[in-house]
Structure 1
Amino acid sequence: MQHSYTFIIIALAIMFGVYRRIRRNIGFQPLKPSRLRVRAFIFIIIGILLLVATIAHPIAYVSDAIGIALGLLLGYFAIQNTQFEQRGQSWAYRPKGWIGGVVICLFLARLVYGFYRDFEVIGNASATTGATSPFSSSYFGGDPWTEGIIFILFAYYPCYFLFLAYKARHLDGDRLTHAR
């Protein structure tokens, strides 16, 4: 019974995170450089920790590198298509919805497949002994698709957030120049 509650809590947390991410891809968002730098730093730290976690599986670095390259490519397209607008005394930005949508869909598709695979492994574990648990350390390094998609996220978001923080500093300078 407690397993059901845990699953529901995790599902609700994931749905809330996806809702917030979708909301941030629609319409203008306030440009807050310090918050963007903190988010980028968090993504970078978690990404480094995940890279260190795969040290036992050096072949996984191939999928990690491909994911990072694709994430940076998506970040580049996002940077090229972001619009900035001054709203009152502050700046706002509007990301291109399709780019954020691609990142969210990749994440959700892999998440749904991961849950399906985990339940299949758990179901088979009761039938056979010695099956790999989805929460063991060897499980993370065993799926290059999951790692590639994770590193798309962990390359895209810091790239995009740091660009926005950089742009905010220059937009403030432009506003001060025009005000004089």
Structure 2
Amino acid sequence: MPTLLIALLIGLMMYRRTKRTIGAQKLVRSRLWFRTIVFGIIGCMFLYASFLHPVNFIADFVGLACGLVLAFYAVKHTEFEKRTDGWYYRTSLWVNIAVMALFIGRIAYKLLYHGAMNAPAPAPVNPIEMYGSDPLTIGIFFVLVAYYIRFFTFLLFKHKELNRTDSSALS
């Protein structure tokens, strides 16, 4: 039963993320700041966990590099539009699909792999340590961290620029 609830929760999260990915999203500074800070804090925690498994530093930096490449492509292909209630952006559908496929694929692999093992996973003392011990998972996580932090900071600067041009156009 708990596995079913977790699967349903993950399914709901993926549905909401997919729904937001396809359409235009409103530029909201506070939401972008919050997400950037959350990804930064979680990224720092996982980077700290890499000290427990130094081999993971390679996965960390490969993930960061891949995430920055994806973010560069997303930044290059993001479109903005002015509506009556503010600015909206639409990012590259292909980049969002790639990021979501990495995330969903890794979750599916972990669930199928642990499900096929027929043995319960050992109870970790620290959840960060549990995820920090798998280089592939940590690498994919850092793809997400680098992508979202870079992309959200781009949106924050672009929002400021767009509002500045709106203000100068009204003057």
TM-score of the aligned structures, taking structure 1 as reference length: 0.87
Pick the structure with greater CA Rg: 1
Q: 2:170 aligned with 1:174, yes or no?
A: no
Do 1:118 and 1:134's aligned partners in 2 also have CA atoms closer than 8 Å? no
User: Would you say 1:78 and 2:69 are equivalent positions?
Assistant: no
Q: Determine the C-alpha separation between the residues in 2 that align with 1:141 and 1:30.
A: 34
What is the distance in 2 between the residues matched to 1:83 and 1:7? 39
Residue 18 of structure 1 pairs with residue 14 of structure 2:
yes
Secondary structure in structure 2 of the residue aligned to 1:13: helix
Determine if the alignment matches structure 1 residue 133 to structure 2 residue 125. no
Q: SS at the partner of 1:92? A: strand
- Give the 3-state SS of the residue equivalent to 2:22 in structure 1: coil
Counterpart for residue 83 of structure 2:
87
**Matched positions, count:** 169
Residue identity opposite 2:64 in structure 1: I
Identity of aligned residues (%): 36
2:138 is the counterpart of 1:147: yes
1:69 aligns with 2:65: yes
* 3-state SS, counterpart of residue 89 of structure 2: strand
Contact 1:86 1:92 in 2 (8 A): yes
Q: Deviations over 1:152-180 (max 9, x none)?
A: 01111111111111110110000111112
The one-letter amino acid paired with 2:43 is G
Deviation at 1:120, TM superposition (A): 3.3
Contact 2:50 2:132 in 1 (8 A): yes
Distance change >3 Å, CA 135–CA 14, structure 1 → 2? farther
Gaps spanning 5+ residues in structure 2: where?
none
- Report Cα offsets for 1:4-59 as digits up to 9, x if no partner: 2x112211211111112111211211110121011110011011111112211101
Structure 1 residues 87 and 77: CA distance shift in structure 2, 3 A: same
Kept in 1, the 8 Å contact 2:46–2:132? The answer is no
1:101-132 residue CA offsets vs partner (Å, 9 max, x unmatched): 100001111110011122234x246xxxxxx6
C-alpha distance in 2, partners of 1:134/1:81?
43
Name the counterpart of 1:156.
147
Once the two structures are superposed, what CA deviation does each residue of 1:79-117 show, in whole Å capped at 9, x if it has no partner? 110000000141110111110010000111111001112
The runs of 4+ residues in structure 1 deviating greater than 2 Å are 134-143
Q: Which amino acid aligns with 2:95?
A: I
Contact 1:31–1:90 at 8 Å: present in 2 too? yes
Aligned residue number for residue 115 of structure 2 = 119
Tell me the SS of whatever aligns to 1:25.
helix
**1: distance between equivalents of 2:32 and 2:87?**
14
Give the unaligned 5+ runs of structure 1. Answer: 126-131
Q: Report how far residue 141 of structure 1 moved.
A: 3.7
CA RMSD, Structure 1 to Structure 2 (Å) = 1.7
